[in-house]
Structure 1
Amino acid sequence: MPKRNISTNFQTLRNRMLNDLLLVVGISALPSLAISLSRITIMGFKPFMAVQIVLVLTIWLTWFFSTKLPYLFRTSILLIILGIATFAALSQIGPAADSKIFMVFFAFSCILFFQSRTAWLLVLAIISLMALFGFAAVQHWITFELDYQTYSHHPLAWLITTWNMGIFSSVFAYMGWRMIIGLREQSESAQELANRLQKISEHIPGVIYQFKLDTNGVYSFPYASEGIRDIYQVSPEQVKLDATPAFSVIHPDDKERLIASIKDSAKKMTEWRQEYRTLSSDGKVRWLSGESKPQLDASGNILWHGFICDITERKKVERLKDEFVATVSHELRTPLTSIRGSIRLINSGILQGKEEEIKHMLNIAEKNSVRLLLLIEDLLNIEKLQSDNLSLEIKSTDLPSFIQECIEENHSYAEQCSVTLNLIQCDTIKVNFDPQRMKQVLANLISNACKFSPPGQAVNIECKQHDEWLSIVITDFGNGIPHNFRDKIFDSFIQADASDTRTFGGTGLGLAIVKKIIELHQGNVSFKTKIGKGTSFIVKLPLKNSNALS
């Protein structure tokens, strides 16, 4: 719990206790005043009795207006009343006065309601006054007009003494109890708040921390949430006095820069903000982002309060975006360069009269225009699919005719890759789906199979009905899909590696589009692969829902 909040809460407790004390003293002072005034019969009316009346009235007025009077004013009124009560009767009847209890009450109130230095100065002051008063009495500078023999045997004298001693002892006990209860309530409230914050911090992805650089140059984490276990693989207790275990997992290439940034923040007392890596014992690299603000404590230590989170996934996304921009730039530049070169060559007049060469240049421009159009369509399609804006036009389609059309449309690409397309089997059935979108699916799968097949190999296509499902299998006999790529093969902007991007081309959007389109048809797509043997992509479409789709 912050120190400022603790001080505020303790001051609130003091204020409440002060009001309680004024009320209790006011109530207990009424019988005491009545008993005191009854002593007129044995000692006559004394000036201190008038003072007592004024003091009791002042106590009640202070309590009544407590919500409007400042705390310091009310405490000062209380101490003045106790000080006057101490010396008023003492100056009249000397050591026999029972008002000595007020001196104890005065000291108790000083300690309770004032800062320690002020409290002890006030206590020392009243003790000094009592000593001076006693010295004056011993020197006969003060005289007392009282028959002690008569006074000490009178029941009223003992009644007032018993009452004052008893009631104010009870007040002391009550205030002590009230203080204990108040402090316990504050402690429980602080503990409840700490538990609540602890539970909240446990569910925050990252670590909330207090980091300290002491005057000896030692780094530590006086406080760290449980998230530090995941961030630095250490417990909060392990770094409470020394942060070395946490620094030991910082990536060697980043550690010097990280420490320099901390020192710079400490020197300039400016906000600390860094992105850096950790390296675990198993070789796993993680990216972290941290930020905090420094402040100087009373001991000269520098404290940072802040937050550290894992940004590994964000960095992966940023890397994928960078790779995608580079890939798209390459894929756009290549056909545009070819188109521009062909047109420039034709316009230059060099090929004038050479119809076959001009036709060849125009064919190059046309093919690259188609390539460029397909790239743009992929980008538009993935945007529509991700925003759920792609609609299907479901039609009843003859499967064998449809598959044959797809093979013919992809035949030229297969020839470019020196690959043959073999239709192994196709059941004669009618299926309800969107023909254009399914052509897009098969074009992506067939082109991928051709692209990753060795020259001279075949790509097999099989279409079978299994109960209420249609299964379309596209098989190549290439190198297979790498293990570290299989779990993200249907993600957007993903390709096996950079060399594939340059060797085979493509944006890495094809399989993401395939998956989205098949899911819109209430089907699913999967794959089987073996390194060095090849890969089969399996598309499954429900036949039982064909009527519903139409």
Structure 2
Amino acid sequence: MVWHGFITEITELMEATRALQKSESRFRAMVGNLPGVVYRCRNDGQRQMSYLSSGIERLTGYPASEFLGDRARSYASLIHPEDRPLARQTPEQDVFEGIYRLLNADGQIVWVREKARVLREHDDPTGWCDGFVWDVTAQALAQEEMQERERYLSLLIANVIDAIVIIDARGIIETFNHAAEQIFGYSAQEVLGRNLSMLMPEPDRSAHDGYLEAYARRGTPRALEQNRELTALRRNGETFTIELRVSQITHHGERKFIGLVRDITERKRIERMKSELVSIVSHELRTPLTSISGALGLIVGGALGEPPAAMRQMLLIAHQNSLRLGRLIDDLLDMDKLVAGKMTFALGTHSLAQQLEQAIASNQGYAAQHEVRFVLLPVADLQIVADDDRLQQVLANFISNAVKFSPVGGVVALSAERRGDWARISVRDQGPGIAQAFHARIFQKFSQADSSDTRHKGGTGLGLAISKELVEHMHGRIGFESEPGHGACFWCELPLATPLTS
């Protein structure tokens, strides 16, 4: 027997094979570390896998080997029954992209996103589908939560009592709730997509777009985050008074404006009735009350002889109460003038120090009566723009309140300081302070922190409301600071005089 053979050197072939194996190992490791699954399947719509990266086990709980071979698990069987139409790949497609749900090995839902591309060859018209599937559960749940929140907010907006109108940066109406439909007389379908100016009478209608353009250029809000009274227009052409508060928000990267609208027609009618009633009653009472108070003053002063002691005491009480009633009527008339815009103001330049000294001198007797003393802290040489009579009225209200609520032997401190272009005047007492629950109502008409205590101390409940109106008519600001048990500090700020105003 003779054997014939030959020996060939295959070093190069073995090295190439090992390099190929190493490269394939690196590729599998790299693909296995991707945050998703790389796959290849026939483009026949059956999703029978010929390759599946190891990431499928992280995604579904099943190893890749279960999806390969003759007895393979079908990837399509993991797709949620409701989402199978969304995940269906048809042979005619060249590109596929979609989001759908899988059911993992534990029966839990996993949201996935898939991108795939079909590769066809001349001798293989069916081709192969190469794709990538990755977990988007967190994003999908966040999207669901956001949509649920938006549905909740839409339902909330639709059912609130006040009208809510939302516009975009161009003034186009995007939201118009049920209350807005009732107030303006339009249905939402009639106004959505139209300019907000349709709900305004002239001249506001023509000027509205200019407001938005000016805001877009300068970013300066004309009326954001503050209540304003405006005139609006119903569908039937009727004008009416509204209270409007506008807020700016950013939604999906776009600027929006939310308008909260309240029809205050009835409130204004009642306010006018109250004002007219107060004005009539006050004027009708003032004349006879002046006569009564004057007559009682003469009797108490001894103009008709010295009355008996018991009678004098009763006459004195009557005289004091007639004076108090007179102050109440004066306050009512002042408030009526302020609301009606009939009170005149003679604004001029005045020395701040002199105004404080005058206020102390005018109220010195009242402080002595309550055994309270004044302290005037050092005041810089500042000139302010104000009506001196009205400023004295404001300071008298501050001081009388501070004296009334100070303990016997207490100190009321007056001070002033410069704050930018403003001068702040402060009156601080050592009284019981103001309860937190009363802070929001402190400058409202007839407001009294404790009616029984106020009645005991005296006062009409109008002084601070009048002071607020007076300060604002002098282009100033008013406020207070207080903590229960630590006294109160009322202040007003008035503009400093410039060389031009001087």
TM-score range, shorter chain: 0.3 to 0.5
Q: TM-score, normalised by structure 1?
A: 0.37
In proportion to residue count, which structure has more strand?
2
Higher helix share: 1
Larger radius of gyration: 1
